[in-house]
Amino acid sequence: MVYTDTRDKSVKADFRTAVINGMNKETGGLYIPVSFPKLDTDFINKNPEPGFRDIAFRMAKPYVEGEIPDGDLLSIIGDAYPFSAPVVPLDPTSYVLELFHGPTCAFKDFGARFMARVMSYFNRNENSPLHILVATSGDTGSAVGSAFHNVPGLDVTILYPEGKISKIQEKQLSTFDGNVRALKVKGTFDDCQKLVKTAFTDEELRARLRLSSANSINISRLLPQSFYYMYSSLVVRNRAWGDSKIEEPAIIAVVPSGNFGNLTSGLIAREMGAPIAGFVAATNSNRTIPDWIATGDYNARPSVATLANAMDVGAPSNYERIAAMYSLDDVRRLFAAYWLDDEGIISSIKHCYEKTGYTIDPHGSVGWKAWYDIKTGAMEKLANGEKGDITKPGLTPNLPCWADKAVKKQAVGIILETAHPAKFGDTVKKATGSAPVIPGRLEQVMKLEDKAVPMENDYAAFKEWLLANLQA
């Protein structure tokens, strides 16, 4: 596969370059494949639907062609995904896609675990380790730490702001041994990010250590997230008639979003033939994308803190990919956009629990509420010309191409549940009155010893530490 760039279509790169570089330093753009090959229709039309890893292999294959042979790709996928993504029905036209069955109980495991193994593969003939530096405000650090732990040839240093992340998050990223370690920085997330960015531009340091990043703009994190869209849409297509008696329902993926990597992966799956009619882009009060869809003006802004904090992004980095792949009109045809404030998050966790018995996390609750509103008249109101106030929580005024299906009650929703509710136990308890059951792997990590190394918010000290502690 040839990769090009969101800012300069004359750029041509292979997969390895796109993965190792993360972004294109020359243009500042993000890598995207030049095409999204369709999966074989016989494969897509199989009933029962193929298994998750089978889908993963077929979907990944064209993107690594000529660079990773089939046998190696199979091992990468087998090793990355000892878990799957169950589809849980809530009612005849709503399903939850549980993306929290990986080691850190959040959907980022799907992207990070594939990326780690691909990077390790591309580093296999090097004599020195590739050092990954990550600054995190919480969730990315744990997914990356866990995904890279004990993966050969790779070494990870995570920086996080001391005292500014939750207890569970801190345990999830500071208790590793071996090739993954955490530095607790006396500063903010922005300070951590600045230390990392300074390191990347430090020629003297780079001459001593091979450095790379692992952030969510990396194409090797986006591609694997498309696997579960394909998988869940095939599962739902095969069971929807039995559940809902709707002949050919429009399948809508409802995506709680922050940086919009997850949603971009959904677009890739749709391009590859997944039977997805459209999307709901669901955000918290960081409503940069809903506002863009509503007004046509894209205005990045500082993020505001919310109860769905992994979505607290005011300048979503994958906007650039979406805008490179689709016109605004296309986006308005494909997406409904919806946003919800903190009060709405609490009440929708409660509402979901009371109506369905399902305990949903604060991120997923935004998706659940969006879908519930769409099913219970919000789309019909839009179709009748009643437009809400975009400064209030709710749907943006555009009518997607699947609006008619939604109004006729011929649409089914797949709500992406991006984290396990126990990771946000306090919020969930506040909403439902009971604390979610903590999965064994989270309980286990809470018992481990915290090994984070204290670090001043000072570049010279950070550099000295790196040089003294990392293997060249």
Ligand X SMILES: *Cc1c(COP(=O)(O)O)cnc(C)c1O
The distance of closest approach from Cβ of residue 105 to ligand X in the complex, given in angstroms and rounded to an integer, is 9
Q: Which of 29, 261, 278, 421 binds ligand X (CB under 6 A)?
A: 261
Cβ proximity to ligand X, 249 vs 256, nearer residue? 256
Using CB under 6 A, count the residues that bind ligand X: 16
Selected binder of ligand X within 231, 260, 368, 462 (CB under 6 A): 260
Figure out which of the listed residues 101, 108, 117, 321 binds ligand X, where binding follows CB under 6 A: 108
The two beta strands, 3-5 and 31-33, are antiparallel
Contact by Cβ (8 Å): 367, 255:
yes
Query: Taking the complex as a whole, how short is the minimal distance between the CB of residue 254 and ligand X, in angstroms?
Result: 12
| 116: Cα separation from own chain's centroid | 15
| CB-nearer residue toward ligand X: 360 or 403 | 360
Contacts to ligand X from residues 398-437, by CB under 6 A: 418-419
> What does 100-169 look like in DSSP terms, one character per residue?
--STTSBTHHHHHHHHHHHHHHHTTT-SSPEEEEEE-SSHHHHHHHHHHTT-TTEEEEEEEETTSS-HHH
Residue 445, both tokens: 């990590």
Among 24, 172, 257, 303, binds ligand X (CB under 6 A): 257
d(Cα 86, Cα 130) in Å, to the nearest integer? 34
Question: Burial of 188 by CB count in 10 Å (0-12 exposed, 13-18 middle, 19+ buried)?
Answer: middle
Q: Which x/- pattern over 139-168 shows residues binding ligand X (rule: CB under 6 A)?
A: x-----------------------------
Is residue 19 within the footprint of ligand X (CB under 6 A)? Answer: no
Q: Which of 30, 183, 192, 310 binds ligand X (CB under 6 A)?
A: 310
CB of 378 to ligand X, least distance (A): 22
Backbone φ and ψ of 292, nearest 5°: -60, -45
Q: Kindly state whether residue 363 participates in binding ligand X, applying the rule CB under 6 A.
A: yes
Q: Give whichever of 213 and 216 is closer to ligand X, judged by the CB atom.
A: 216
Burial class for 247, CB neighbours closer than 10 Å (0-12, 13-18, 19+): exposed
- The residue within the footprint of ligand X, chosen from 56, 76, 87, 106 (CB under 6 A), is 106
Q: Six-digit token pair at 51?
A: 């298994």
Asked if omega into 161 is within 30° of 0 (cis), the reply is no
Angle at 109 between CA 205 and CA 96, to 5 degrees: 150
Residues 209-228 that bind ligand X (CB under 6 A): 216
Give min distance, CB of 386 to ligand X, in A. 29
**Residues at the interface with ligand X (CB under 6 A):** 106, 108, 139, 216, 256-262, 310-311, 363, 418-419
